[in-house]
Amino acid sequence: MTAYILAKFARAAATLLIAVSLVFIFIRFSGDPAAALAPPDAPQEVIDQYAEAMGLDKPLWQQYASYIGGLLQGDFGYSIHTGKPALELFLERLPSTLRLGSTALLIALAVGIPLGSFAALNRGTKVDRFAMAFSVFAFAMPNFLFGLCVILGGALLFQTYFGGTDASVLPAALTLGLAAMGSFARFTRSSLLETINAPFMRAAEARGVPYMRRLVAHAAPNAAIPLVTLIGLSLGALIAGSVVTEQVFGWPGVGQLLVRSVATRDIATVQFIVLAIAFTMVLANLLVDMLYLVIDPRIRTR
Amino acid sequence: MESLKPRARPPRIPWSIRLSFCFIALFVLFALFGEILSPYGFRETSLFDRLLPPGSPGYILGTDARGRDVLVRLAVGAQITLIVAIVGTLIGAVIGSLLGIVAAARRGVIEHVIVAAIDVQASLPIIVVALFVLAMFDNSFTLFLLLVGLTGWEVYARLMRGATLSVQERGYVTAVRALGASPARIYLRHILPNILNVALVQFTVNLPLTVLLETALSFLGLGVQPPLTSLGQIMSEGRDRLLTAWWLTLFPGAIIFLLALSVSLCGDWVRDRLDPTLRSES
Amino acid sequence: MPGEPAVLSIENLSVALPEGGDREFAVRGITLDVKPGETVCLVGESGSGKTVAAQSTIGMLPKALPVVAGRVCFESKSLPPQRSKAFDSLRGIKMAMIFQDAVASLDPVQRIGRQLEEILAVHGVDRRSRKKRVLDSLETARLPDPPRIYRSYPHQLSGGQAQRVVIAGSLLLNPRLLIADEPTTALDVTTQAEILDLLKDLKRERKASVLFITHDFGVVAEIADRIAVMKEGEIVETGSADAVLGAPEHPYTRRLLAAARKRDPAREASPAKRVLEVRNLSLDYKIGRLLSKKHIHAVKGVSLQLEEGRTLAIVGESGSGKSSLARCILRLVDASAGTIRFKGDDITEEKGSKLRALRKRIQFVQQDPYSAINPRQTVLSAIAEGPIIHDATKRDAEARATELLEVTGLSVNAGSRYPHEFSGGQLQRICIARALALEPELLVADEPVSALDVSIQAQILDLFRSLQSKFGFAMVFITHDLRVAQSISDDILVMKDGEVVESGAAAKVFSAPSHPYTKALLAAAPDIALRRRAAA
């Protein structure tokens, strides 16, 4: 078990280090970073100042070392447009993104898992076919189209605009959560079906354990194990989806900041957001791995 | 002794699959020849015919804010979307599959490096990677194609590594090795044909994802740049007029949705036919 | 016990197979009684319908298999034909079932204690007495350290321990009927013998009836009071164990019994040239990754030799290192120490093209014939591939392959077909043909018949013998089954935990084993009971 924990932490650290290094390499070789970071139309002296400040005249490994050192000290660079630290810009936006993302995740879980379970338990029926059709629909539906439809529907049916800063979080969260909802439903269904047909379920039946108890005490815990992985993975899909969804609904979150910063080439801000996302994902995967220790005795007592 | 098992009858094709195949065929035809349907060029503006609704004389699907014919723009957009989808998906499939097979075949350091790369990619959504790169470099169609092509390479790599590892352990590979076959013969004649369907199935899963990434980036204004156009870009031009000129967003949106839907339905079906063991429990 | 009402009686039961199956009925018009305190063995090869018969008695038939005629009575009351709530008050209390794969029949994420207490809980046993009853039951099933087992998870148990746990669970409420579906098939011989002993004792002490399903006549001889033989869904013969084993009436029963008893008189040893000589061979594996590396010593200092035209059987239970040894000899894995000499040449270190050329002379037949042929290759091209690799023309190679199809008892037109169209026995013939296409001087066969049904086993063993006398190759024959070893080998080598514990001429080892482990193996082999019965 100790070996498992150590291995997972080592892997997370390595992944993070590689991601950081890649970001460095890209920034360093994307042309003249000084020119990119300096204000537009800046005279040559200003660009040189930038280059010196960034240590561009030093050998590469020193630049790398000071880059890493800077990150560790919390120096993530300044936005070239607002002049504020990238971290500050990010933190301003974070609460609304978290609100949107967590609502979307909750909606997806609350609909997807019951739907998938119901489909698995009523396999081959209309409910099952509906759930499967829904999951394909949710997978194929681009969230910008669905978002626009939601806005259009709100305007036509309720005469309200579902976007902007002070709008309700629900329409946007529904849009963001749709894809995850579909994949939760599909995955819950297949995981539960597999468990229901496992030999130990038949054995429990032969021992006289009643149906509901078999489901609750044996099928559910076993089916939940792979589901935990999926929920961890779906975080990536939610982050990716929030980039587009926030744009569609004019939601003032990190995703919107990312798109705006990319369009205006605000490299420091983009870099920080990318690193933050990488860190979040690595942390989430690590959490999932640790959660396994709790829910799967085969790992705990290896 | 010599009684052979009966051959399985091929199952009937459900109507949803037939419809999906029809839509895909229509889409491809429209992308290839759709421009003929309109007398206008896709960049041809007409200040007197701005924002005409569908059904207006001369403009079956209406016009946009600069008086361009929506029909011909959709045709060209479909063309670009199709090119990006196919080329992009192929790029990811080839790169990912090769890395996966190499990792499984070589083991050792090379495998560790590839697996680490897979881990890194898995912890960064591809759209974020694409946005990051687009912030660094000037947007060009080639760069965009490459970025979109990287969609899901890590999934190919992971799947193909797993498939190769498992096929390597099968009895017949051992048997052929024991016959004295060279590594080239083992990989090309015995392993590759047996893992190709894994890549093929993933291709059908990945194609809609590629379409969705391309259209999403173009929708954000960071993908295909004017004067070129794509379905996502047409949508992004129309989104500010959602209520007054709904046809600018809903037509391309519907095409994207139906395309992704049809391809994934057909993909599921092909997967079930190709490999009953991968069957999604139905 | 005549006159006493049967605990279980199956009356003229027919269960349909879904359309497109290889026959119309899974079981057809079977009638069978199990009397109190009696063990009835339902014997048949795979696909004979014996499991379906068992499922129908405990109400667990799959929906796709409906009962179309007849009925099942338990304690003189008719049981519902399909899954039904009525069974809730029977299963676990009045009838219990144990399965082939015991580990898989336990919930992997729950401790053993909790799973066994659940049986008591759902049948209304008082909470306070549960733990004690479970511990007692584990004790009865002769599990070491019951409190530890109580706290364990299924994956921490061995196959034999898991089967004991399942048996302990099935006995908790003293059921009148125990249904055992191949409960020892997945186990080693010595463990199998222990489990059979346990079942026999429990039956005697508890007076329960047992419906025992198996394909193995050795096991039958060990445990049965009465026997019913099934073939393609029908019972072809029933009778007391003595009657059926002593004087089988139906030809199918006779064939199965003959296959189970088959053995040759020991063959004359003649001085001949040495083909294979292995000295002090060891093989270590490193498993695990960076942080938790472990060394496994699979083979420890094994020496053996083999002369032209002779067969050496390597016998051992799973994990004894016999397959690892085979892979070393085949040079599929590199030995960690020791030497392998083939026809006088040291081949321990051969590499590259030299090794590939050597492979022509040492060939291989594997355990699982289903995975041993590339599913995308026709049978003819699979057999011809060896000669083609070794520079034969396509025409010559295919001519040779066609010839071998005939020699191995397959029809010539089988060549154009694909592997999935063949049965296991046919596939194993194809694999043998493929190995022989290279005219090897040494054939290494790793458990080549253990995935096959008994009657097919006998045919394949016959094939090996006739091919050996025709082509004259030497053979290393790996098996866990003493019966098989005895019927095919000239010499025998017994392995345990990677080491050789006994070796010598087959006749000598079988008649006068010197090592305690060999003795234990021989005593555990259910076959011995069969022979005892036959002698009586």
pLDDT at C536 exceeding the cut of 60: no
Query: How confident is the model at residue A107, as a pLDDT?
Result: 94
Among candidates B123, B136, B212 on the partner chain, residue whose Cβ is nearest the Cβ of A282: B123
pLDDT at C517 exceeding the cut of 70: yes
Query: How confident is the model at residue B280, as a pLDDT?
Result: 38
Contact: A202, C289; criterion CB under 8 Å: no
pLDDT tier at C363 (50, 70, 90 boundaries)?
A: very high
CA distance C216 to C237: 16
Tens-place pLDDT, residues A237-267: 899 899 999 988 888 889 999 998 888 888 8
Pairing of strands C209-214, C177-181: parallel
List the 109-168 stretch of C: residues with Cβ below 8 A of A: 109-111, 118-119, 122-123, 153, 155-156, 166
| A256, containing H or E segment | helix A254-263
Contact: C169, A198; criterion CB under 8 Å: no
Q: Which of C422, C431, C425, C423 is nearest to C404 (CA)?
A: C431
Query: How confident is the model at residue B282, as a pLDDT?
Result: 32
Contact: C376, B194; criterion CB under 8 Å: yes
Report the SS3 class of residue C345: strand
Beta bridge partners of C9: C33, C73
Give yes or no for a contact between C130 and C121, defined as CB atoms under 8 angstroms apart. Answer: yes
In this complex, is the C-beta atom of A13 within 8 Å of any C-beta atom belonging to chain B? no
Query: How confident is the model at residue C454, as a pLDDT?
Result: 81
Q: In whole angstroms, how large is the CA radius of gyration of chain A?
A: 24
In this complex, is the C-beta atom of A243 within 8 Å of any C-beta atom belonging to chain B? yes
pLDDT tier at B1 (50, 70, 90 boundaries)?
A: very low
Separation in Å, CA A56 to CA A26, A63, A79: 14, 7, 19
- Average pLDDT value over all residues in chain C: 85
In this complex, is the C-beta atom of B15 within 8 Å of any C-beta atom belonging to chain A? no
Shortest Cα–Cα distance, B226 to chain A (Å): 15
Shortest Cα–Cα distance, B183 to chain C (Å): 10
Query: How confident is the model at residue A166, as a pLDDT?
Result: 64
Q: Which residue stretches of chain A have pLDDT < 50?
A: none
Query: How confident is the model at residue C530, as a pLDDT?
Result: 60
Tens-place pLDDT, residues B20-75: 999 999 999 998 888 888 777 777 777 777 777 777 777 777 787 787 888 889 99
Decide if the complex's ipTM is over 0.85: no
CA distance A121 to C184: 33
Apex C44 CA angle, C206 and A201, nearest 5: 60
Q: What is the pTM of this model?
A: 0.79
Task: Give the pLDDT mean for C331-343.
Answer: 89
Task: Give the pLDDT mean for C406-424.
Answer: 86
Nearest chain B residue to C420 by CA distance is: B5
CA distance A133 to A143: 17
Query: How confident is the model at residue B279, as a pLDDT?
Result: 41
List the 6-65 stretch of A: residues with Cβ below 8 A of C: 6-7, 10
Give yes or no for a contact between C215 and C46, defined as CB atoms under 8 angstroms apart. Answer: yes
pLDDT over 70, % of chain C: 93
Q: Which of C355, C304, C346, C352 is nearest to C325 (CA)?
A: C304
Among candidates B174, B181, B193 on the partner chain, residue whose Cβ is nearest the Cβ of C366: B174
Beta bridge partners of C311: C475
Tens-place pLDDT, residues C418-475: 888 888 888 999 999 999 998 999 999 999 988 888 888 888 998 998 888 888 899 9
Centroid of chain to Cα A51: 35
Per-position b or e across C296-323, b if 16+ CB within 10 A of its CB: ebbbbebebebbbbbbbbbbbbeebbbb
Query: How confident is the model at residue C132, as a pLDDT?
Result: 92
Query: How confident is the model at residue C263, as a pLDDT?
Result: 44
Contact: C108, A6; criterion CB under 8 Å: no
Tens-place pLDDT, residues C218-277: 888 888 999 999 988 889 999 998 888 888 889 988 888 877 765 444 444 444 578 899
Shortest Cα–Cα distance, B155 to chain C (Å): 23
